[in-house]
Amino acid sequence: MSNKTQKNKHIPKEIQKRIEELRKEINYHNYRYYVLDDPVISDEEYDALMRELKRLEEQYPELITPDSPTQRVGAPPAEGFLPVEHSVPMLSLDDAFSEQEVKDFDERIKRQLNLNEDIEYTVEPKMDGLAVELVYEKGIFVKGSTRGDGYVGEDVTPNLRTIRSIPLRLIDQELPIPELIEARGEVFMNKKGFEELNKERIEKGEPPFANPRNAAAGSLRQLDPSITASRPLDIFFYGIGLVKGYEFKSQWEILNSLKKWGLKINGLIKKVKGIEAAIKYHHEIAKIRDNLDYQIDGIVIKVNDLKLQELLGQKARSPRWAIAYKFAAEKAITRIVDILLSVGRTGAVTPVAVMEPVRVGGVIVRRATLHNEDEIRRKDIRIGDWVIIQRAGDVIPEVVKVLKERRTGNEKEFKMPDTCPVCGSKLTKKPGEAVWRCPNPDCFPRLVRSIIHFASKGAMNIEGLGSKVAEQLVTAGLVRKVSDIYKLQLSDLTSLERFAEKSAKNLLDEIEKSKNRPLSKLIYALGIRHVGEVTAQLLARHFGSLDALSKASEQELLKIEGIGPEVATSIKKWFSDPKNIELIKELKELGVKSAQSPKEIKTKTHELFQGEFFNNKETQEYQKISLEGKSFLFTGALKSMTRQEAKDIVIELGGRVASSVSKKLDYLVVGEKPGSKLEKAKKLGIKIINEQEFLKMIGKEELLK
């Protein structure tokens, strides 16, 4: 008999039974109210059930369970958010802004699949909120996280538990509940709740949120869950990550199954045949957009058949089988009062329009990018012009059109200067490029932006080293390159304005902590042109260290799926600069970690290669094995290890794991019940090996004996 059973033995069985009945009934009514929007009891009746459950749980606290409807709020404030690695990356979507771009997307799919008939798609409103992932084990909500960078998010489990439309236990209505399911959705705040929240904040003297999306994101990332609980947050689920104990055939089946398990989906989701039907849906949703109770910025189009999704595969950042068809951006009219120049981190000198303040999409806009000199000439933009502006993708303000009929004759044409507006260096422009650049790496704003980027959250995450501090450090001559950050002393910082000893120590602590950031963060922090966070992760996984990356040829870089010629050339050029090589050397000497830490794979299989076995003869032989330059893809179930374990071993031995079957693939490893990848690999003439052959390659044949 378990301790729990012994503990509850003295509690009358009728009490235990009544508590279970109440929980089941309350969960059902939550489903009717929040998911179906079709309540069958009054608020008073619901409150009576909840009061009875609370009373019984107070009498018998040993019967309280984490998934009880009474346990939505109760966690103490957190000191910070812990990282959560997603089992399956939460990729972003490519955007389309016109019908032609959407039709091109459809043509690409048909071409890749070699199909002539119309594709079946699911279409749904694109929510303007915060993407999250919720993990349910045996039907119980155990962990929730934000999307983060797509690979690693933040643990916001206590906060998600406070959202009423999120079930703490899945409902088993018609379908068996999976052993494990990672449900993905978008947390948002409806328009009415947003207005009421801002009204309260203004009355309290607090600054209002700019828009519902910011309000939702700020509310979900509160360290105190009780604050999150007070905010009117909601959620729509749209997909899944890892699933165990259940198989789906289509996106449509996924959505309907989520709904049956009690997870709220958007009622406007449809299944359509052909891209024209998807475009028609976009027009229909655009007409009712303003009447919806929540904000959307377009629709999402997804290939419905999961087998076709698998065949299409994905790129570094986004799946090939889905696209976000955005609405036309909101526009406004204002006047340009001046055109200034901004010097960016890479030396790019960008003209920026300074405008009379105007509200666009709920945000006050005062500046808009003019991109480059050629763009100004093409649109004939002059200082003093009245213009139509929009927030491209509802985010970045830009000038759409000049209202030439409103000109008075006093407008001034803009002329791009020959020299940098900050340091006076002569600007340069490469043939075929539209951007002028300042070549001086020590140019003040360029250096400041490099430091801000290096210390940013997506890079080395040095809290406290923002734009103002970066400017102070450069102005005082304390930092002339990013490696100087690690040479700062307490006396350096306390000599600066508004730096007390405590704040100086805090910053130095953050700088010290940043020395152990993952290799991908350091690669991104270096500011190599065209290398974003996803590309940095690909490089870190492939090369394992800055030394290896610095010696890579363009040909080797091009072998990495997701890296094209332009990116490869940029990386090679960066590592060919002696100043950059010297910078890497300094960072290493100052204690910054420049190599990837071995992944901790907690499996019996991998224990043969790690931990207490590390120095034995068997492991030494394993260390001599190399899969460098070889790419692998796995299909079907493996007997000796999980697919993820196999992938990790490939990476650890210098190989690469592909995301889909292509001509660049070296080996397809086939387990039990392989999928459609096998047929495609046969057609392309890819080398196909079984699990035993794979184990032989890594020197572990005995695992199947």
Q: Give the long-range contacts of residues 72-79, CB within 8 A, separation 24 or more.
A: 72/161, 72/162, 72/164, 72/168, 72/229, 73/161, 73/162, 73/225, 73/226, 73/229, 74/225, 75/158, 75/161, 75/225, 77/223, 77/224, 77/225, 77/226, 78/158, 78/223, 78/224, 78/225, 79/223
Looking at residue 324, its amino acid is A
Residues 6+ apart with CB under 8 A from 66: 140, 168
Looking at residue 382, its amino acid is R
DSSP state of 477: T
Distance, in Å, from the CA atom of 303 to the CA atom of 301, rounded to the nearest integer, reads 7
Residue in 13, 54, 126, 379 annotated catalytic: 126
Query: What Cα–Cα distance (Å) separates residue 249 from each residue in 136, 301, 323, 382, 465?
Result: 20, 17, 20, 56, 48
The beta strands (E) that lie in 268-395 are given as 270-273, 296-303, 322-326, 331-343, 348-360, 363-369, 382-383, 386-392
Residue 373: CA atoms inside 13 Å, Cβ hemisphere, count? 14
Q: Do you know the residue count of the chain?
A: 705
Helix (H, G, I), strand (E, B) or coil at 353: strand
Helix (H) or strand (E) holding 125: strand 120-127
Nearest to 81 by CA among 146, 137, 129: 146
Tokens of 204: 């309290």
Whether 126 is a known active-site residue: answer: yes
- Residue 334: CB atoms within 10 Å: 22
Angle formed by the axes of helices 578-589 and 565-576, nearest 10°: 70
Distance, in Å, from the CA atom of 238 to the CA atom of 235, rounded to the nearest integer, reads 10
Q: Give the long-range contacts of residues 112-120, CB within 8 A, separation 24 or more.
A: 112/311, 112/312, 112/320, 113/308, 113/311, 113/312, 118/273, 118/274, 118/275, 119/273, 119/274, 119/275, 119/303, 119/304, 119/308, 120/271, 120/272, 120/273, 120/303, 120/304, 120/305
Angle formed by the axes of helices 13-30 and 43-59, nearest 10°: 140
Distance, in Å, from the CA atom of 200 to the CA atom of 212, rounded to the nearest integer, reads 15
Residues 6+ apart with CB under 8 A from 117: none
Tokens of 63: 């019967």
Distance, in Å, from the CA atom of 88 to the CA atom of 94, rounded to the nearest integer, reads 18
Distance, in Å, from the CA atom of 412 to the CA atom of 655, rounded to the nearest integer, reads 59
Nearest to 106 by CA among 302, 393, 317: 302
Token pair 């024209």 is found at: 276
> How far, in whole angstroms, is CA 443 from its chain's centroid?
32
Angle formed by the axes of helices 191-203 and 212-220, nearest 10°: 70
Q: What are the backbone angles phi and psi of residue 324, rounded to the nearest 5°?
A: -100, 115
> Catalytic positions, please?
126
